Amino acid sequence: MRTGSLRIFRIAGIDVYVHVSWLVIFALVTWSLAEGYYPRLLPNLSSAQAWALGALSALLLFASVLVHELAHSLVARTRGIEAASITLFIFGGVSSLRTESTRASSEFLIAIVGPLTSLALAGVCFVFAAALGEPRAAALLGYLALINALLGGFNLIPGFPLDGGRVLRAIVWQVTGDASRGLEIAVGAGQLVGYGFMVWGVMQVVGGDAFNGIWIAVIGWFLQSAGAATLRQVRSEQRLSGLRVRDVMRPDATAIVPGASVATLIDEYLLPGNRRALPVISAGRVVGMITLRDIQGVPPAARAATRVEDVMGGREAVVTVTPDTPLAQALEAMLAGDFEQLPVLDDGRLIGVLTRADVIRQVQLREALHLG
């Protein structure tokens, strides 16, 4: 998720990231406004002013997307769902929430507030654009009104992963009482919309409008592949449902002490045991996790003098699971923290390790056997 993204600031406790693809959009929007929209609307504008207005509009487009995403995150918070971060990327923004809604009403409110906020912003900009006499301000606000109306309108299309798709999911969920049925229908609708956009894009290209056509087709491709990916993820979560950590974990209580050297770790634990990681235990308590990744920064010559506790992960807080933790929840924790393995504790005592590879293998096994 974070790959290729830059953290730019933190607002209301939510980290805001910008994906590098957004820089492309910034340049494209600035250019098309400075060379097309503004000179057409204001023929007396100097080139420098047109470019300045173009760049300002691109920044305010960014702010509009951010406000839309913040609306999702803040409503999620009032429904008890913590908002982790917002990433702005080529097609808009993505709010990442720490957990999924557990109620259809929450899903509905969190989804609908984004497009409503954009449409409200569009209305405000429109009113000010009409009221202001200054032609440059009016042109800028007119652009913002249009862009926010598009943002709100596009996101209301009832296909997952768009907000309208989430609204559809919540409605089906509420009516049938079945959350995954709701998602399946919303994803199906999203894929139809995606294919529709692709066909429309191709028709535009054939009709001679290559630029818009390709753009529309790419959006369509994005929509249908995002839906397919979500559905795959949900299917594998369903395959995991009912399974617990004890079903997949390796019962292996081997651990190392914090004061051991990295050389000892490699020669006596990792290589002989064919392991990539090991829990670190002090006074019977798991205090960290040492992985290949942690020791890769230690040069071979320094391995004898470097202690495990100096480079191990989880020094602030170790993420652990118990044998009874649902496997889907354990996998979520691994993905959220980018962990390859988690120590399994029973009554605080280390009894084994759960690796991401083992969870994935279990999913594939069940898939091949048509189980779950």
Angle between helices 179-206 and 163-176 (to 10 degrees): 150
Residue among 269, 15, 9 at smallest CA distance from 1 = 15
- Beta-sheet pairing, 5-11 with 92-97: unpaired
Q: Please, what is the minimum distance in Å from the beta carbon of residue 208 to Zn ion?
A: 33
Q: How many residues bind Zn ion (CB under 5 A)?
A: 3
Q: For residues 209-238, which are near Zn ion according to CB under 5 A? A: none
Q: Which is nearer to Zn ion, 101 or 320 (CB)?
A: 101
Q: Does 294 bind Zn ion (CB under 5 A)?
A: no
Amino acid at 232: R
Q: Does 114 bind Zn ion (CB under 5 A)?
A: yes
Q: Which is nearer to Zn ion, 107 or 163 (CB)?
A: 163
SS3 of 198, please?
Answer: helix
Q: For residues 141-170, which are near Zn ion according to CB under 5 A? A: 155, 163
- Tell me the β-bridge partners of 80: none
Q: Please, what is the minimum distance in Å from the beta carbon of residue 235 to Zn ion?
A: 24
The residue whose Cβ lies closest to Zn ion is 114
DSSP string over 243-297: -BHHHH-B-----B-TTSBHHHIIIIIIHHHT-SEEEEEETTEEEEEEEHHHHTT
Q: Which is nearer to Zn ion, 47 or 78 (CB)?
A: 78
Q: Does 107 bind Zn ion (CB under 5 A)?
A: no
Is-catalytic flag, 69?
A: yes
Q: Which is nearer to Zn ion, 168 or 243 (CB)?
A: 168
Q: Which is nearer to Zn ion, 129 or 144 (CB)?
A: 144
- Tell me the β-bridge partners of 344: 321, 352
Cα 255 to the center of its chain, rounded Å: 34
Q: Please, what is the minimum distance in Å from the beta carbon of residue 65 to Zn ion?
A: 9
Which two tokens mark 115?
């497009």
Q: Which is catalytic among the residues 69, 82, 340, 367?
A: 69
* Interacting span for Zn ion (CB under 5 A) from 44-52, 106-114, 173-181, 248-256: 106-114
Q: Which residue has the tokens 């064919």?
A: 274
Binding site for Zn ion (CB under 5 A): 114, 155, 163
Q: Which residues are catalytic?
A: 69
